[in-house]
Chain A
Amino acid sequence: MERVLAIVSPVFTPLGRSLIAASGELGRWCEFVWQAILWTFRPPYRFDQFSKQMEFVGVKSTWIIALTAFFTGAVFALQSGKVYSLFNMESMVGATVGLSLTREIGPVFAAIMVTARACSAMAAELGTMRVTEQIDALETMAVNPIQYLVVPRIVACTVMVPLLTMLYDYVGVVGSYVVGIYLLGINEGPFMHRLYYYVDADDIWSGLIKAAIFGFLIAAISCYMGYHTRSGAKGVGKATTRAVVVSAVTILITDYFLTTWILEYVINRQ
């Protein structure tokens, strides 16, 4: 028995330790999110902070979202057009791009772009505030830092990521239209007809629900990482990197489970 333990423990001890550490971290994150939810509904309501964050997350991300959406739709149209041309079905390009954008690419890419542009900044800003004692200063001034700093960021992301997803869907379809009609020479009538025929309101809604959930998660993760920063400038860098990596991975993993749920209960029910 001792011999077995001697062989097994070098492998399983670190594994067990990291599992315990990970579950501890998850527990602390859940507590943090719960606090943020509670403080969302407690006065005072800081509308100036909400609008400031909405501008930062939403308005200031508009151009980068539009740019990436246009080229995503364009390249998708180019690739699918080449494949469909083998079967003489080029008119399906609009519908294919429309469905992919509204259901998957729009919410996922919009959330990833917001993670890269806004959530990384959130983690760095909160991290710097933590290591320079600005968060402690807020507490000493009888201001709850979760309510003042975290709640507006989470609310802003939850509201703005779906709006940016709508923009992403629209501009992406424009990109596919430009490439499909003017570059691949697809007939406009069938292109638009298929797009209208296959893309339903439910496809758009399901994407927007996903986007709101992604927005909530990436803001909650990034704020958590920044809020619990330690060890000076190095800690701020580490927290920012972790915020981006964990948010991106969370978006992709959550997307799979949300898609399973949406396909089962929203789209297949019809």
Chain B
Amino acid sequence: MIEIKGLHKSFDGVAILKGIDLVIPKGKITVIIGPSGSGKTVLLRHIIGLLKPDKGRVVVDGVDLAALGSRELNDFRRRFGMLFQNAALFDSLSVLDNVAFPLIESHRGRALPDVERIVEQKLALVGLPGIGRKMPSELSGGMRKRVGLARAIVLEPKIILYDEPTTGLDPIMTVAIDNLILSMQQKLSITSVVISHDIDSALRVADQIAMIHDGRIIERGSPEEFRRSENPAAREFLEASGRKANAGEVR
């Protein structure tokens, strides 16, 4: 379980997070939605300890991240896998080396398992078997995201963080990534935190949806509860999504 308590963060005097309180349940998919620039990614970076809060706490499985030293935090991060917005694959390494990277690093000084077999297994899990020899520059956006996901799950983490996993993808690939998020959760029973501004995608995959607006959580609940929300900002978000879908039909 991840507990976020009274989280505040400012950059150059500009407040981005203004007191976030959120509980992310274990083994479920929580989608944090909100408009661009609302602080979603900043929140995600606090969850994995890439940023330190100005005020407030992030507690993961009972451990306060702010209380950990840099080495302990490094070790603690092995519980997480993270899929970055643009996959953040290492340009100079092949797909095989990219996916194997966390595995090799976590086994330094110890006997390595059968790296190639594990990597191939994970690539098959994301629907990309046999592409280990390719370089990241040879892959499409959707393939890069799936390789990023294979890298995120290679150590079989307890928590996976997805930063805008469907942004910039076509509708077919968006559904494919949504299905992947669902199947990861079902097969590996991991806690998933998805950052997105794609409300349709959020309604499809989430067990819990939290909406962040102007640095605060303004709405939280199951997809059904979220659909019935009376909060003006949440309604606007839902209606804008509906208008987008209708616009296609009218045209």
Contacts and interface: CB of A to CB of B under 8 A. Distances in A.
Given A134-B91, A136-B50, A142 B86 contact: no
Contacts of B237: none
A136 B86 CA distance: 12
Contact of A140 (B75, B77, B108, B109): B77
Nearest to B76: A142
Interface string B102-120: 1001101100000000000
B74 A136 contact: no
A162 B70 CA distance: 34
A89 interface: no
B88 A137 contact: yes
A213 B85 CA distance: 40
A30 interface: no
A141 B105 contact: yes
B226 interface: no
A44 interface: yes
A137 B74 contact: no
A25 interface: no
Interface residues of A, number: 14
A43 B71 CA distance: 12
B105 A143 contact: yes
Interface string B82-101: 10111011110000000001
Contact of B88 (A44, A133, A143): A133
Contacts of A141: 77, 101-102, 105
Contact of A142 (B45, B89, B106, B109): B106
A142 B105 contact: yes
B75 A142 contact: yes
Nearest to A135: B88
Interface in A79-119: none
B76 to A, nearest CB: 8
B80 interface: yes
A2 to B, nearest CB: 29
A144 interface: yes
A188 interface: no
Interface in A43-94: 43-44
A188 to B, nearest CB: 50
Interface of B: 45, 48, 50, 70, 74-75, 77-78, 80-82, 84-86, 88-91, 101-102, 105-106, 108-109
Interface of A: 43-44, 128, 132-134, 136-137, 139-144
What are the 3 closest A-B residue pairs judged by CB atoms, nearest first? Answer: A137-B88, A133-B88, A140-B82
Given A132-B86, A136-B50, A140-B77, 18 more contacts: A43-B109, A44-B108, A132-B88, A134-B89, A134-B90, A136-B45, A137-B82, A137-B84, A140-B80, A140-B81, A140-B82, A141-B77, A142-B74, A142-B75, A142-B78, A142-B105, A142-B106, A143-B74
